[in-house]
Amino acid sequence: MNNLCAGCAVRDQALCGSLSDEELTALNSVGRRRHVSAGTTVMWSGAENLLCGNLLDGILKMAAAASDGREQIVGLLYAADFFGQPYADEVDFTITALTDAELCTFPRGAFEHVLEHHVRLENLLLQRTLKALNEARGRMLTLARMSATEKVTSLLLEMAARAGPCGCSASHGGPVTFDLPLTRGQMADVLGITIETVSRQLTRLKGAGLIALSGSRTVAIADLGALKTQISAA
């Protein structure tokens, strides 16, 4: 147990954080650490479902192919999130690393075997899955009611809060600074608006002094509270 779990920065937040020593030992026996570079696809939509696991560090995107062949991002995964789908024979969404990422992976069959022999672990996974599903539904409803400014602001705040060690930092009393893991086009896909609208809203927030932009990806938020006031519908 110690070999795989030692030094895990998200153990308290991930599925493993609620497990007993016995359950951790069983899970540890089938798990392994894996490093993937930015741009690496971890799972392909439509492929045989062989893998699941916890994201330890970095950001992953879940994407589907639209009817015209374009990629549609349907969700982002951050540190401590679970990925993959036990008891499914086929992968539903393509999962790709947006940043360099650290994974704790389990072969699907072996993971299912552990679940079947540890009912509490199975229940904990079900609870996390239902919570994630409810959050996704709530996010869809909220985004549908938001203005373009609120949508872009909400995404910036989410990434600032959850990016963690993969690129978000803040000196004492200083701005929260992080590298956007998404391009302007990808942000537009996630939010259901155009690239031009994303660029205009970022420029507007910058002009209002709420964010600072450096280069093509670096964002600094001087005052999180002030930025949150842009979201009146959330």
CATH number for 132: 2.60.120.10
What is the band of 130 on the pLDDT scale with cuts at 50, 70, 90?
Answer: confident
Residue type, 158: E
pLDDT at 234: 40
Total tally of structural domains belonging to the chain: 2
Per residue in 190-213, pLDDT (tens digit) is 898 999 999 999 999 999 999 999
Q: What is the pLDDT of residues 134-175, one digit of tens each?
A: 877 877 777 778 899 999 999 999 888 886 544 455 555 568
Tell me the pLDDT of the chain averaged across its residues.
84
Q: What is the pLDDT of residues 80-89, one digit of tens each?
A: 899 999 999 9
- Comparing 151 with 121, the larger pLDDT belongs to 151
Residue 105 or 6, more confident: 105
**114 and 50 in a common domain:** yes
Same domain, 34 and 100: yes
**Residue with the larger pLDDT of the pair 97 and 174:** 97
- Same-domain pairing of 131 and 186: no
Question: pLDDT at position 51, please?
Answer: 94
Q: List, as one string, the DSSP characters of 25-79.
A: HHHHTT-EEEEE-TT-EEE-TTSB--EEEEEEES-EEEEEE-TTS-EEEEEEE-T
Residue 6, pLDDT score: 59
Q: Do residue 109 and residue 16 come from a single domain? A: yes
Say whether both 114 and 153 belong to one domain: no
170 in any annotated domain: yes
Query: Residues 130, 153: one domain?
Result: no
Are 130 and 224 found together in one domain? no
Q: Looking at 38-52, 106-120, 169-183, 218-232, which range is the least confident one?
A: 169-183
Q: pLDDT band at residue 125, thresholds of 50, 70 and 90?
A: confident
Residue 234, domain member (yes or no)? no
Separation CA 106–CA 104 (nearest Å): 7
CATH number at residue 170: 1.10.10.10
> Is the model more confident about 224 or about 40?
40
Answer whether residue 90 is part of any domain: yes
Answer whether residue 27 shows pLDDT above 90: no
> 97 and 34 in one domain?
yes
pLDDT of the residue at 24: 81
The residue range of the domain holding 159 is 146-228
CA distance 182 to 189: 10
24 domain-assigned:
yes
Q: Which residues contact 11 (CB under 8 A, 6 or more apart)?
A: 5, 17
Domain assignment of residue 174, yes or no: yes
Query: Is residue 233 assigned to a domain?
Result: no
